[in-house]
Amino acid sequence: MSMRALMIALLLPLAGSVTAAGFNAEKFVANNCARCHDSSVYTRADRRVQSLRQLDTQVRRCDSMVGTKLFEDDINLLVDYLNQRYYHF
Ligand code: HEC
Based on the number of CB atoms within 10 Å of its own CB, is 59 exposed (0-12), middle (13-18) or buried (19 or more)? buried
Q: What is the pLDDT of residue 6?
A: 52
State in Å: Cα 58 to ligand 1 middle: 7
User: Measured from the CA of 78, which atom of ligand 1 is nearest?
Assistant: 35
Q: Which residues line ligand 1 (CB under 6 A)?
A: 29, 32-33, 35-37, 41-42, 47-49, 55, 58-59, 62-63, 65-66, 78, 82
In the chain, the DSSP E strands lie at none
- pLDDT tens digits for the chain (89 residues)? 666 665 555 554 544 444 445 789 999 999 989 989 999 999 999 999 999 999 999 999 999 988 878 899 999 999 999 999 999 99
Q: What is the pLDDT of residue 77?
A: 94
Counting every residue written for the chain, the total comes to: 89
pTM of the model: 0.81
The dihedral built from the CA positions of residue 53, 59, 61 and 64, taken in this order, carries a sign that is negative
**Domains of the chain in sequence order:** 24-87 (1.10.760.10)
Q: What is the pLDDT of residue 86?
A: 96
